[in-house]
Amino acid sequence: MTNRRLILGCGNPDRGDDAAGVQAVRRLRELGVDAKEHCGEPLSLIEEWSGAGEVIIIDAVITGSAPGRIVKWDARSAPVSREAFRLSTHGLGVGDTVELARSLGRLPDVLMIYGIEGARFRIGEPVSPEVAAAVEEVAREIANPGPDCHN
């Protein structure tokens, strides 16, 4: 692994709150942070982080919490909730992808996942105000990490 840091925002920008990850990386780029949009397709996601030492993934989740709630997972220290990422159009969500990569020995040294609870996922719907506020909070946290963060 290298020291390369990679920030990926997953989701579909045309499906309401599913755009959370994409909007977060767009906001990060506005803040001067290198970040990339990713469709979330499992095998290409694993390939994308290949060679990176630190990876941050941002995606919408459904856990039953209030819209806009932010959940963080340290994917190196514990399994990632597969159920939270079931809204993927690829059949396998980010949680499934991480666990597949773990079984293949393809996890980066650091893998942090930010999940933003969504509620609206129909095509053409706008992002909810709660998710938009969470996107801003996540982007600012990643762009300006505290002393106890990996970033």
| Window from 9-13, 88-92, 121-125 with minimum mean pLDDT | 88-92
Its pTM surpasses 0.85: yes
Q: Residue 37, by phi and psi: left (phi above 0), alpha (psi -120 to 50) or beta? A: beta
Residue indicated by tokens 């996890």: 107
Q: How distant is the alpha carbon of residue 20 from its chain centre?
A: 8
Q: Which two tokens stand for residue 72?
A: 């963080």
Residue whose C-alpha is closest to residue 41's, from 80, 103, 87, 94: 94
Domain membership flag for residue 49: yes
Q: What is the CA radius of gyration of the chain?
A: 14
Domain with 41 in it: what CATH number? 3.40.50.1450
**Is the pLDDT at 29 greater than 50, yes or no?**
yes
Name the phi and psi angles at 110, rounded to 5: -130, 130
Domain membership flag for residue 20: yes
Range of the domain at 65: 5-143
Domain membership flag for residue 150: no
Total number of domains constituting the chain: 1
Q: Looking at per-residue confidence, does 97 or 88 come out higher?
A: 97
